[in-house]
Amino acid sequence: MIVTIVNVFVLQEHVEAFIAATLDNHLGSVQEDGNLRFDILQHRDDPTVFTLYEAYESDEAAAKHKETSHYLKWRDTVAPWMAKARVGTPHRVIAPAEASQWR
């Protein structure tokens, strides 16, 4: 399993549009084979900062996500709304270790 935590910094004037576009990406992502979670988090103290928590069963499933039409649309749509480049950090999952424990 692999989890990628993506930190996104959005320009204030684009926060609501970013949320809408990211919800569309979420809806497609959670239907992908190999997706375990796709959470969208907005920081409480700074509403222009978001964290995406993406969990996939394998590196291959995570890589396939970046080839989907919903991801490519999201990537291209939100790019001009960024205050700075987003940063995705992959993590190795320690627990829960079994995919069945994710749902």
Whole-angstrom distance between the N-terminal and C-terminal Cα of the chain?
14
Dihedral Cα 15, 82, 84, 10, nearest 10 deg: 0
Q: Which of 37, 41, 77 is nearest to 57 (CA)?
A: 37
| pTM to 2 decimal places | 0.91
Six token digits for residue 78: 């939100």
Determine the residue type at 2.
Answer: I
Residue 98: pLDDT band (50, 70, 90) is: confident
Q: Which of 97, 73, 75, 94 is nearest to 86 (CA)?
A: 75
Separation between Cα atoms, residue 28 and residue 23, nearest integer Å? 9
Token pair 């205050």 is found at 83
Backbone angles phi, psi at 32, to 5 degrees: -70, 145
Q: For position 70, what pLDDT does the model report? A: 97
Please write the tens of the pLDDT for every residue from 14-28: 999 999 999 999 999
Please write the tens of the pLDDT for every residue from 33-68: 999 999 999 999 999 999 999 999 999 999 999 999
pLDDT at 103 over 90: no
pLDDT at 94 over 90: no
